[in-house]
Structure 1
Amino acid sequence: MQLSKKMENLGTEVAFDVLEEVANLTTAGRDIISLAIGEPNFTTPEVIKEAGVAAIRNDKTGYSPSAGISELRERVAEYLSETRDIDYLSSETIVAPGAKPLIFYGLLALVEPGMEVIYPNPGFPIYESVIELLGGIPVPLPLRAENNFEFSLSELKELISPNTGGIIINSPHNPTGSIISREKLALLADEIIKHDLWAISDEVYSELVYIDEAFSLAGLPGMQERTLLIDSFSKSYAMTGWRIGFAGGSKELIDGISKLITNSVSCTATFTQLAALTALEEARDDLDQMKKKLEERRDLVWRHLNRIPGLSCQKPAGSYYFYADVTDICKNLNLAGSEELQKYLLKEAGVALLHRECFGDKFPGEDREYIRLSFASCSKDRLKEAISRIERAVTTPKSQVS
């Protein structure tokens, strides 16, 4: 069977490949500490689980409207209005089986063949692969350490061309943990309006912010109708496997995405939606407790990571990732780059991480090596053990990757 040509360059999310490798090593008897996958090790709060179970027992197992049950769409509209200071109607919101499908549907609804779409690099790898799948032209926007992993306005302006259709942003950001300032968002909004572009704002880490506040691009003047704001229950409520996300946007775009859902998955599971409704209405205390524990882990990892010779990193303002510069470690171990370091640490330290190019190819002139580690995936004791293993492996190396 011959696959279509558009499948030839379809990318993937390497984190899931690493997850499978970790599972295989664990089955073989290795003690692996995985800091690779973007998943909290907390269990879904009991009140949410009970709501899901009750929904199943009450036979809420049939189809729902493609855009989501009305109660949840109304509550999502209230939530977005409360948290982003934007007035959304329920008809301007939609529910889907996760945030990733909403990225896919949003791009499917907006990208024309040959259209250039700007996206962050490093960044969530699905942006680039879906743009390319749809016949668009991915245009990476460098995020540099010297800019605290915010984009440069001058570089953005250079990338905008007559073929540019839109831009994707992600704040709080995966993999760097950076947050785009309100001032920078305002400058971005000016460029979007000036060039008549659309925007997708990926805000799935919106609740995981460790500074005073973060802002949404959609909340700036003239941007609500131009922006598809995407969020999710996965990260905030430890509901990764429930597969439920939500978005806000113009009614025209939301109606279009609803048709795409009808044509693909029909709808999101009804009992999952009812559990998500309970999350928004009754699980705020659980969310706050999880966030407090994540902040404690962040601070612990920050203290311990920076004692490792040859490693440096910025303290994440949001999300649950450290994006560490390991250039000197790679040089000291005579490794070609962070991909080899990832393999070396899995082999010698039993610690799973993700290397720089899991988040896109290096941009021109980039000469540093990075790894990403999640501080959400295990307890504080295991995090300390993981960092100790890394330190031992890079300071007293036993062998090197061939």
Structure 2
Amino acid sequence: MRYSSITDRLADLGSEKWALHIRARQMQASGTDVIQLTIGEPDMPTDPLLIAEAQRAMNAGRYRYSNGRGEPSVVNALTARYTRRRADVTAENVLCFPGTQTALFAVMLGLVEAGDGVLVGDPLYATYDGVIQSTGAHRVTVPLKPEHGFHMQAADLEKAITPKCRVLLLNTPHNPTGAVLTADEIKAIGDICRKHDLWIVCDEVYEELIFNGPFASPFDDPELAERTVVVSSISKSHAAPGFRSGWAVGPVEFASRLLPVSETMLFGVQPFIADMTAYALTHDIGTSAAMRTSYKTRADLIVEGLSNVPGIVPLPPEAGMFTLIDVAGTGLTGEAFAWMLLEQEHVAVMPGSSFGVEAASFVRVSLTVPDTVIQEACARITKLAIRLLTPKERRA
């Protein structure tokens, strides 16, 4: 039988990148004591006030067809949120989606097509290749170097641009590195995008999980308003990944042209989830603050526990729920180290290669488990690292 070309373009971009995570789940299901540090699923529960609001909305009959742009409750809440960042935002700038992933998919579908190039930093979130290649466009890599704290450099961006490039897919705070771009870095990147007439699609899902310092975004610069689209959700900020509630905010013309695409995919999101999202955006819910504290503490525990381990270099993140560990000193790639760690010490981490070429010597560790589990994982990582030393190195 015949299939469309999208199935070929995405053939290797699905669950294959998560093979170690899937294997760890299988081991755990069979009774093995596996420490799961692979995915960014918050260990904090969704706040009871949000659950109660969703229940209230369902009891009130808020489960019928929705508005294609989004329910007024959440559109108004998002308008208020982004007006605080840039005064010209109205409801006409907003589109609602079931999660950031769907928002990214739709936005890319509306901005690029076959033959176009999408610039994105490497390392990159594992699903970015899929949302780019689904359109027929191709990824154009901008290297994010450890010596720059994985912060995108404007010079590296400009060097990577080709005549085919149409979009810069930016991610700050960044997954998997935890890097947070500064206002000066954003300005320099924005200047390059204006010079080369590039869209900027900024994934800001970790905006509320910055450990120290301010958040900067191209969306907040009026000079970049005509070319910037923000995507985000409540999945990370409010520990509500299963509710699938996200959005895109961009220029009015962009939102108007993308609306039929969104309506063709899914005509609106669930009204009771929209009401819960509106409540989350308009009330002081303490989830983000609590997660910021716990994730920063856990990142510090990893740095403390592994800084003196031979062959291991932990890199403290600036935000988010992950940290990277450089394992090049063990003589193994991140992929080989991660699989050995799972099979021998029953600790599941993500190979850096799942996130790009620049992360090949790293593993990504999730911070979404209790402190004591983080400490036990560090102990097991240490055991493996020591075993990988040569006899001469052990005696030194």
Please give the TM-score of this superposition, normalised by the length of structure 2: 0.93
User: Which one of the candidate residues 27, 32, 35 is aligned to 1:33?
Assistant: 35
Question: CA shift at 1:12, angstroms?
Answer: 2.4
Query: What amino acid maps onto 2:345 in structure 1?
Result: A
Superposed CA RMSD? 1.8
Query: What amino acid maps onto 2:90 in structure 1?
Result: L
Contact 1:12 1:125 in 2 (8 A): no
Q: 1:16 to 1:59 in 2, by over 3 A?
A: farther
What per-residue deviation string (whole Å, max 9, x for no partner) do you get for residues 313-340 of structure 1? 32111111111111012x1xxx4x2111
Matched residue SS, 1:26:
helix
* Structure 2 equivalent of residue 342 of structure 1: 338
* Structure 1 equivalent of residue 4 of structure 2: 4
Question: CA shift at 1:133, angstroms?
Answer: 2.3
Q: 1:142 to 1:316 in 2, by over 3 A?
A: same
Question: CA shift at 1:14, angstroms?
Answer: 5.3
**271-280 or 198-207, larger mean C-alpha shift:** 271-280
What per-residue deviation string (whole Å, max 9, x for no partner) do you get for residues 92-118 of structure 1? 112110001111111000003211111
Instruction: Provide the rounded CA distance (Å) in 1 between the counterparts of 2:304 and 2:321.
Output: 15
Q: Are 1:53 and 2:55 counterparts?
A: yes
Question: CA shift at 1:309, angstroms?
Answer: 1.8
Matched residue SS, 1:134:
coil
Runs of 5+ consecutive residues of structure 2 not aligned to the other structure = 390-396
Instruction: Provide the rounded CA distance (Å) in 2 between the counterparts of 1:41 and 1:103.
Output: 25
Q: 1:298 to 1:14 in 2, by over 3 A?
A: farther
Contact 1:48 1:283 in 2 (8 A): no
Matched residue SS, 1:177:
coil
* Structure 2 equivalent of residue 394 of structure 1: 385
Contact 2:21 2:349 in 1 (8 A): no
Contact 2:154 2:192 in 1 (8 A): no
Instruction: Provide the rounded CA distance (Å) in 2 between the counterparts of 1:16 and 1:271.
Output: 32
Query: What amino acid maps onto 1:116 in structure 2?
Result: G
Instruction: Provide the rounded CA distance (Å) in 2 between the counterparts of 1:153 and 1:288.
Output: 31
* Structure 2 equivalent of residue 381 of structure 1: 372
User: Which one of the candidate residues 65, 79, 82 is aligned to 1:80?
Assistant: 82
Q: Are 1:369 and 2:371 counterparts?
A: no
Runs of 5+ consecutive residues of structure 1 not aligned to the other structure = none
Instruction: Provide the rounded CA distance (Å) in 1 between the counterparts of 2:152 and 2:295.
Output: 26
Instruction: Provide the rounded CA distance (Å) in 2 between the counterparts of 1:180 and 1:168.
Output: 14
Instruction: Provide the rounded CA distance (Å) in 1 between the counterparts of 2:87 and 2:136.
Output: 33
Q: 1:291 to 1:241 in 2, by over 3 A?
A: same
Instruction: Provide the rounded CA distance (Å) in 1 between the counterparts of 2:261 and 2:284.
Output: 31
Percent identity over paired residues: 26
Matched residue SS, 1:112:
coil
Equivalent positions of 1:87-106 (< 5 A) are 87-106=88-107
Contact 2:295 2:320 in 1 (8 A): no
What per-residue deviation string (whole Å, max 9, x for no partner) do you get for residues 21-58 of structure 1? 22211110001111110111111000001111111122
Instruction: Provide the rounded CA distance (Å) in 2 between the counterparts of 1:54 and 1:283.
Output: 19
Q: Are 1:353 and 2:344 counterparts?
A: no
* Structure 2 equivalent of residue 20 of structure 1: 22
What per-residue deviation string (whole Å, max 9, x for no partner) do you get for residues 206-235 of structure 1? 000012112011112321221111111000
Question: CA shift at 1:347, angstroms?
Answer: 0.7
Query: What amino acid maps onto 2:131 in structure 1?
Result: V
Contact 1:15 1:354 in 2 (8 A): no
What per-residue deviation string (whole Å, max 9, x for no partner) do you get for residues 173-232 of structure 1? 001011111111111111111111111001000000012112011112321221111111
Instruction: Provide the rounded CA distance (Å) in 2 between the counterparts of 1:49 and 1:112.
Output: 40
Instruction: Provide the rounded CA distance (Å) in 2 between the counterparts of 1:86 and 1:338.
Output: 45
Q: Are 1:200 and 2:192 counterparts?
A: no
